[in-house]
Copies of this chain bind each other. A is one copy, B any other.
Amino acid sequence: MTDDAIPRGLGGEAIAAAAREVFAERGYHGASIRDIAKRAGLSLSAMYYWHASKQDLLAAMLTAGHHEYLEACTAALDAAGPDPADRLVALVRATVSYRVRRRVESLIAAQEWRNLDPVHAEPLVASRQALTRLWARIVEEGVRAGAFDCPHPEDARRSIQAACNAISQWYDPAGDVSEPELEQRYADIALRIVEHRGG
């Protein structure tokens, strides 16, 4: 009945959309399942057909979002060559793109992560750590290869990720910066942070 991913079907989609909105507006604890059901145009009990619990609903959202981001990252890396700078830029672009495209999900993921109970969180935590190690390895390789002049790779990596992640907090889709332009800007910032010696 409940699955890791958000279930497809009319009710399921409506619930997913409503949950996204309400979690974003009020946070996990501030959101009530009644509000979500009302927003979705369904009865309270219908919710429980699609999701076993409020936790399950949150977990489904975070899992779906995480997997989408993960795929975007691996696709970007597959398309990039072996050059560390290219690979770092690929990750930055994928991240910026996701933070812009999935602004709301990104904010929820950033804020409500800690409200996942261990059972639901565990599979995500592992995957997330793997992703972090991937970022770290790319920076380290760039340093080792002499492409980056970076005394503290771990802080550089953290700074780059923080800058990219923050985008969903302030980005205004109606603003005048296009998404590709934004990718370019943050790619440049990332390369400056690692002090890339461009060829």
Contact = CB atoms under 8 A, between A and B. Distances in A.
A188 B151 contact: yes
A189 B29 contact: no
A111 interface: yes
Contacts of A162: 159, 162-163, 165-166
A185 B114 CA distance: 28
Q: How many monomers of this protein are in the complex? A: 4
A192 interface: yes
Interface in A126-153: 151-152
In terms of DSSP, what is the predominant structure of the interface of chain A? helix
Nearest to A26: B29
Nearest to A30: B29
B156 A189 contact: yes
A158 interface: yes
Nearest to A162: B166
Nearest to A107: B114
Nearest to A192: B192
Given A155-B186, A189-B155, A193-B192, A115 B30 contact: yes
Interface of A: 26-30, 111, 114-115, 151-152, 155-156, 158-159, 161-163, 165-166, 170, 185-186, 188-189, 192-193, 195
Shortest Cβ-Cβ A-B pairs, 3 listed: A29-B29, A159-B163, A162-B166
